[in-house]
Structure 1
Amino acid sequence: MPPNERLRAALAAGGWTHATLAKEVEVDPKSVERWVNRGRTPRRATAVLAAETLGEDVHALWPALRQSRPARAVSPELVALHDQRADVPTSAFVDLLTQASEQIDVLVYAAVFLHEAYPRFNDLLRERAAAGCTIRIAIGDADSPNVQQRGKEEKFGHGIESRCRLALMHYRPLIDTPDIEVRTHGTTLYNSIYRADDQMFVNAHVWGVNAYGSPVWHLRRSEEGGGMFDTYADSFNAVWATAAPIEEH
């Protein structure tokens, strides 16, 4: 395979070597050498971490990763199951929330990938609110011991705290928008939840694994109710009740 010149340029621009990038993403330097000189494509989760480290788009560095693996449905409420969040394009999250007409709920620690990959994300939320949606956004409190512990468990250190503060910066312009409320929470986050009316993406959290490397299931609420969808919806409501509204200044 031909060398990966885009990756080579990104390394050079940031002053990275094969060894320093390998240490950051916890692989052998020979693996990075093969990515560059032989055009090898790393595992998706490793590629996402490497791209984030370099400040590059993962699909620009490794276009082959654009091809999402097929999801598989196994129950009436489970529309699709994806091995990891990195398999789900940001456009799928955007499309899900764009379809909402009544309710949008987002429960995360940071999920800054939404704003980074889709700069109009705040505009989308404003448009949905103007169309009659009630929107609730719960992000992690960077000073919470649970957030800080998650950083240690995922070997992300203070990075997750920084990303929570970055998420707050992204959402702060929305706090005076009618029908949009943003709060911070300090709960142990077992799952990230992205709800749009009767559909929902649930990003499971796995100990020691970053959220982008953990599974996502797409749920659709059954007419009977009382199933998995409602379990996660109730979980969101329980966290929301403990969350604190952010101040305007």
Structure 2
Amino acid sequence: MNERLHSVLTQRGVAPEALAAACEVDPKTVGRWLRGRLPHPRHRFSAAQHLRVEETFLWPTQQPRAGRPAGGLGVEVVGTYQNRASVPREMWLTLLQEAEEHIDVLVFSGTFFAQSNPHVTKMLAERAADGVQIRLCFGDPNGQAAAIRGREEGIGDTLAAKIRASLTYYRPLLPEEGCEVRLHDTTLYNSLFRYDGTLLVNPHVWGQPASANPLIHLKRVDDTGWFDNYAQSFEAVWATARPWTTELEGTTAHG
């Protein structure tokens, strides 16, 4: 099965029959693509254009088409989502499971990250055991940045409470080698989710929760593009964040 093609069709609300019409092929042909058949190059290009994603995301084993740039911003942007909530759950799971070197998360509370996947802590621990570096950076519930963001969203102290609740999910990771959790007190212009050379950027719109804001799906191609700019911002925040310990926070276990 081509899970990526299936997920994008679902996310975009495009029926297989509509994709077939856009690519000028029989609907049965699209059915074969969904079952794993590799389309003709002309059809791969048409499908990617119609679905507004990079061809190499739908069929990652393929090389870039002749005449297209080998790098740069156009290739880096794999796709966009109207809001973070519309990103298929399967994508989050696949990216986590396939990471081999890095998993970096920068958020304020990130409650969805655990609540949408009850096994996220176990999965992160398994990835760490396989040598993946896990770095999770949450907002400091006692910091000024979380207080300001809470006021901007109109939820007051609720954001700090959400951060404390979210942290309880990750308590089992603290003793795990290769896993580290820190708290930051900085203005966030976006949430970041990095899995090796893939980066999901969730820009923050003033006064709106992150889940309601757009998401940009990036793929690293060189060290001069968007990917590295965002990755460097993670490193800057991480360097100033403090390690989280349950003794200092006094959090309670989640139900």
The TM-score with structure 2 as length reference comes to 0.68
Find the partner of 1:72 among 52, 55, 62: 52
Q: Residue in 1 aligned with 2:144?
A: 145
Offset from partner CA, 1:186-239 (integer Å, 9 cap, x none): 1101111010100011111000111111000110000x3221000010000000
Q: Residue in 2 aligned with 1:234?
A: 232
- Following the alignment from structure 1 to structure 2, what is the Cα–Cα distance between the partners of residues 141 and 108? 10
- Following the alignment from structure 2 to structure 1, what is the Cα–Cα distance between the partners of residues 133 and 126? 11
The answer for unaligned runs of 5 or more in structure 2 is 1-8, 14-50, 55-73, 248-255
Instruction: Establish whether residue 106 from structure 1 lines up as the match of residue 49 from structure 2.
Output: no
For 1:1-249, list aligned pairs within 5 A.
67-69=10-12, 72-73=52-53, 75-222=74-221, 224-249=222-247
The answer for unaligned runs of 5 or more in structure 1 is 1-65
Q: CA deviation at 1:100?
A: 0.5
Offset from partner CA, 1:12-60 (integer Å, 9 cap, x none): xxxxxxxxxxxxxxxxxxxxxxxxxxxxxxxxxxxxxxxxxxxxxxxxx
What amino acid maps onto 1:110 in structure 2? S
Q: CA deviation at 1:72?
A: 2.6
Aligned length: 183
**Identity, % of aligned pairs?**
42
What amino acid maps onto 2:211 in structure 1? Y
1:129·1:180 contact (CA, 8 Å) conserved in 2? yes
1:72·1:82 contact (CA, 8 Å) conserved in 2? no
Q: CA deviation at 1:127?
A: 0.8
Give secondary structure in 2 for the equivalent of 1:152: helix
Q: Residue in 1 aligned with 2:58?
A: none
**Larger mean Cα displacement after TM superposition, 210-219 or 72-81:** 72-81
Change (3 A) 1:238 1:212: same
Offset from partner CA, 1:154-180 (integer Å, 9 cap, x none): 112222111110121111221110000
Q: CA deviation at 1:83?
A: 1.1
- Following the alignment from structure 2 to structure 1, what is the Cα–Cα distance between the partners of residues 130 and 88? 25
What amino acid maps onto 1:68 in structure 2? Q
What amino acid maps onto 2:231 in structure 1? A
Aligned CA RMSD, in angstroms, stands at 1.6
Q: CA deviation at 1:67?
A: 4.6
What amino acid maps onto 1:137 in structure 2? L
Change (3 A) 1:209 1:248: closer
Give secondary structure in 1 for the equivalent of 2:163: helix
